[in-house]
Structure 1
Amino acid sequence: MSTMNMIQAINSALDVMLGRDDNVVVFGEDVGYFGGVFRATAGLQKKYGKTRVFDTPIAEGGILGTAIGMGVYGLRPVAEIQFADYIYPAFDQLVSEAARLRYRSGGEFWAPITVRAPCGGGIFGGQTHSQSPEGVFTHVCGLKTVIPSNPYDAKGLLIAAIEDDDPVIFFEPKRIYNGPFDGHHDRPLQPWSKFPQSEVPDGYYRIELGKAAVARPGSAVTVLAYGTMVHVCLAAVEETGIDGEVIDLRTLVPIDLDTIVESVKKTGRCVIVHEATRTSGFGAELSALVQENCFYHLEAPIERVTGWDTPYPHAFEWQYFPGPARVGRALKKVMEG
């Protein structure tokens, strides 16, 4: 075991898989010699060589088109999109090619690719470096979508994603890159505050995709969250004193419906929290699933706490984020229902 932040855990996962499987290759903008803008691939090119860890041109469509071709050929490419905001030029490659390949070829070909992309705000990145586009990809059949909330999960889930035979979009919340965010703040302390780290196994382990985790057991209300918002929800539960059960979804597609339903049937109440904008956000899908499966157990209407329906507001990003105060108000509201 070693003490790691999320960046170090991701680096460790890539190191483990590059050493374990010669078919694994890592590439993207600045991931080779420089080690990535967040240093997630630092040292890997020196260790494994330029044919297995290499830089690409600034051409996201080309990066993911190349990844798909490599996957069909038999490799297991891990492609980094430098920021999730830059993934849109490659959207057609993911939707029209990677997601459909297994079905349209009758199972003859598939695309075992992993697409890593830092997502979300909180580092003063501005409009084009801070978006949370997970809802766009959860709508696409054939893609799996993963968002970890802590270093231990990040490593285990990334290893599982690389070993998966289907394309996986692996979003990494950069606000918690340097350690689990403690959640008790509605405004920044420092852009890169050093929060507590986690104990992470040094070698190989995997966390099955499609399995949620109970971040905090409780009996009064179920709180569904993922990524950075898990820490915000834990803080809100602590600050309000409400006995909330916080579910860390970890994987959005496939979703762990059994864990969600079991929890909501137990508590009778549900609050859903995500950083992305509200309209057509993944919280709407979660709300529908809870209503369809738990309607007769609900004691109050489902509450959603999300980002605003606006282009990312750089000057007001800490008002845009759901913080413990906003989540706390939603918790109190459902408890009064």
Structure 2
Amino acid sequence: MSSDPLVSVVIAAYNAEVFISETLDSIQAQTYSHFEVIVVDDGSSDHTAEIVRLYAQNDDRFQLVQQENSGVAASRNLAIQHSRGKYIAPIDADDIWYPERLEKHVRCLEASDEWVGLVYSWSMYLTESGSIRAYSPFGQLGAVEGNVLAILVFYNFLDNASTAMFRRSCIDAVGDYNTELKTCEDWDLYLRIAEKYQFAIVPKYLIGYRQYSGSMSTKCATMSHFYELIMSRIYQRHPELPHSIRRWANTLFYNNLLSKSYLAGDYALMFRWIFLSLKGDFALLLRPGLYKVTLVAIAKTLTQPLLKGVPKQSPSKHAPTSETVIESQPLNPPEPNFWKPYDRVILHRWQQMVKTTQI
């Protein structure tokens, strides 16, 4: 039996037949081999279960668990209940890991003291077809580790649910994923871990985070509701957090939502996010793109009644046009260049928040 600690990879999968094979292939390609994979099929109506079952038949490290549709948080909790590993590593059913992800994270936690509960790395943003769209900006801003609660309230710098590995003892101490939350459940768990543990980082781009129009991350109204719920509870538990953090956090969060709503063509929601972002903090007014998207949104809203009689083209069926490359590590992105006024303000705030990790 291997002397290396067992890692439990947990996956919540719902109608994931398009991407699940790429996700599982990226796990099989890991340089660290002492892992188990628990996939919870959350009541899928497609061929997700059949695909996972084939992997389980050919590799005894893979296990399929099925349940009626209960949501992401409940699915991850069920996977953790079926797991045996010292470390837990969630990954979404449409994301990928680059080959050294598990190895580097295990080595980091094994070399750390017990009060370091979680390790993470940076992500690359993938298109629906799997090509690299962008690099996570957090890699350009620099490593964040230590006592991260305040800066994690400021912004979820872990970025997505596929970046972290944490000790099983963290779940024992802070509880499971909150099934009340329909989104942002990963951020909520990270915050609760940060209340009791320090974070560490492997400063590499080791995760491929897929973003597309149908993904959960684009459901802005749902995200806003649960963001407010999570943050209200955090501020109740931690009244010592400065009020400026809340204002700065809202600016960043709603700025992110307004971009998503604009791209989705939901201009009414976009204007709501602008209002909430500007409420108590006018930093967004320094962003030139705000005026452009506002003018475009107004123009399209005014001309929409004129286009009602024009027939719309039927959307093409979803089909990825290329296969995601997972065999090699990604190249590092270019050096950051923060020169715009809005960028400079956010960078200054980020640097102020980083200082809180050393207290």
TM norm. shorter chain > 0.5: no
Larger helix percent: 2
Structure showing greater Rg:
2
Scaled by the length of structure 2, what TM-score is found?
Answer: 0.30
Structure number with higher relative contact order (C-alpha < 8 Å, ≥ 6 residues apart): 2
